[in-house]
Structure 1
Amino acid sequence: MLSDVDIEKQIESKKIHPDTGIAIEPFEKKYLTPVGYDLRVGQRGFSWNNKLEVEIERNGRIEIAPRDTVVIETLESISLSREVGATIHAMATRVTSQGLSHISTTVDPGWTGKLLISCHNYRDSPVELRFGDSLCTICFFRVESQAKGSVGRPPDRDDIWQQLREKANQEKQRQAQETQYEKDRERRERQTRLFWMASFAVVALAIGIFTSLINPVIGASLAAVIGGISPFVVEILKAK
């Protein structure tokens, strides 16, 4: 494992010999720890509950709702030589005092790009992370033999962001379809109620006219009864 002194030496080595060492951009010494470097909240995130991409830098923050899992892009871009690998760990303050999930992932030797960090909020209240806040700690290790395998993944994991955007679009389409279905259902129910109201009115009118032709007195009485119950029938049909 590389100490803070080792990390600074590796950074200087990378500047002189690009095939060696470590690069951290942007680098600020105050985020250097005795055994690593604190990575910060970057420009964008993604909420799994909302299936929505969040512009953290523009909003100044990202709010993690209760029981939500978010993916956060780091502010820093990391570049590792074939002689250095890394692991990413949760910060105690994020886990113990804020109720966020543990973080455990690896960074392959030869990696270049930003990193994607997944966090789950176990609390019953939202947790707010601001743009540039410390998020997690990356620890570096010098491998015994230079790695030969290819990382095989796009820098900054643009492939994952594309998948997240596709999921967000699918969710929006699903919600739009559900909204349209609900509108169509309400329209059909309204049309059905209007049909039965019109049918009741026609039948009542026909009965009244027919009865009046046979017996005007009975017809008048029947008309009064129908007139009295009509408002109740209409209200019943509206409520359905």
Structure 2
Amino acid sequence: MSHVLVHDEIINELIRPGFIENASVECVDGDSYDIRVGDEALIVDLRTGEMKKKNLREEKVLDIPPLAMAIVKSMEKIRMPEDMDGDLWLRGELQSRGFGFTGGGIDPGYKGYLFIRLHNISPRTIRVRYGERIASVRFRRLHKKTRAYAGEQIETLPPQWIPELPEIPIYDWAEISKKLKEHDERLGLIRRVVIAGVLGGVIAGIIVGILVYLLTWIFSKLLPLVVILLRALPHGLPLALSAPLWPTWPHPASLEGRRRPRPCKCRLGPWSTWRQALHARRTAT
């Protein structure tokens, strides 16, 4: 039957005997131990595939961009007894900051540092500091010893632990928000252009209709007055007024004494009289 180690048991059975190197009693909780950020980290940008190795002993801080993953080396070095194993999970404080963590375990007989993957699933950059508590381990004693971890002692990050990059491009929330904003702006511009075109067409149609109505009204009122005025004028006056437009033609006064066409007995309007005058002028010449 398994048994979870509590505060004093963790100190007396793991820290003091040296099963947890670089340990601190202050990191012991009621039934778990808090793992701290060590001196090495690897940032993997899942969008570009770029990898950056960080020396946190010198830089002191680690900034993890949106949708990037950091593989952080622990400050503690674990030498797990063969009759114990451990459950590893991310501390709630880091989860509230925007980190995603699937959890993990420590096999019996494991020797080496822990490498914790921190996934930044938030739209902003998250910072962790050297020596900061990021994960917790709950140690569990088994009812007997079991087959120990067969791997070598892990001092550095194994290459096979580096994740493969996705085949499709990944965009962070900020990039998606920016693209959506640009898309909305383009749609807004198209909407404004369409509305302006429709309103412009309606206004132009109204203006054209008003102009047509005004011109129709003006002609309907003025045309009868023009006709009456032309009928009231002498028969030769329109031709005399139009004579300067054709200077090569003889002046109406020079037609005196020449043969004139027989006047029409029917009542003709001003336009017919003007046509008769033109015909008479051509006949006289």
TM-score, length-scaled by structure 2 = 0.51
Shift of 1:56: 1.6
Change (3 A) 1:12 1:162: closer
Q: Work out the CA distance in 1 between the residues paired with 2:62 and 2:11.
A: 31
- Residue in 2 that maps onto 1:36: 32
* Structure richer in helix, relative to its length: 1
Partner of 2:154: helix, strand, or coil?
Answer: helix
Cα RMSD of the aligned pairs, angstroms, is 2.3
- Residue in 1 that maps onto 2:128: 129
Q: Work out the CA distance in 1 between the residues paired with 2:139 and 2:20.
A: 12
- Alignment check: 8 A CA contact 1:103 1:119 kept: no
Percent identity between matched residues is 17
Can you list the C-alpha shifts for 1:147-192, whole angstroms capped at 9, x where unaligned?
A: 12x412232253615875xx9xxxxxxxxxxxxxxxxxxxxxxxxx
- Matched residue type, 2:26: K
Shift of 1:14: 3.0
Paired residue total? 158
Q: Work out the CA distance in 1 between the residues paired with 2:77 and 2:121.
A: 28
Shift of 1:29: 0.9
Change (3 A) 1:162 1:5: same
Shift of 1:13: 7.0
Q: Work out the CA distance in 2 between the residues paired with 1:31 and 1:13.
A: 14
2:143 is equivalent to residue 147 of structure 1: no
- Residue in 2 that maps onto 1:66: 66
Change (3 A) 1:160 1:4: same
Change (3 A) 1:125 1:29: same
Higher relative contact order (CA 8 A, sep 6+): 1
- Matched residue type, 1:9: N
Write out aligned runs for 1:1-240 (5 A): 1-11=4-14, 14=17, 23-49=19-45, 50-96=50-96, 98-148=97-147, 150-156=148-154, 158=156, 160-161=158-159, 164=162
Shift of 1:101: 0.8
- Matched residue type, 1:160: P
- Matched residue type, 1:106: G
- The structure with more radius of gyration: 2
Divergent runs of 4+, >4 A? 161-164
Q: Work out the CA distance in 2 between the residues paired with 1:26 and 1:143.
A: 25
Gaps of 5+ in 1: 16-22, 168-240
- Alignment check: 8 A CA contact 1:88 1:103 kept: no
- Residue in 1 that maps onto 2:238: none
Partner of 2:99: helix, strand, or coil?
Answer: coil
TM-score, length-scaled by structure 1 = 0.61
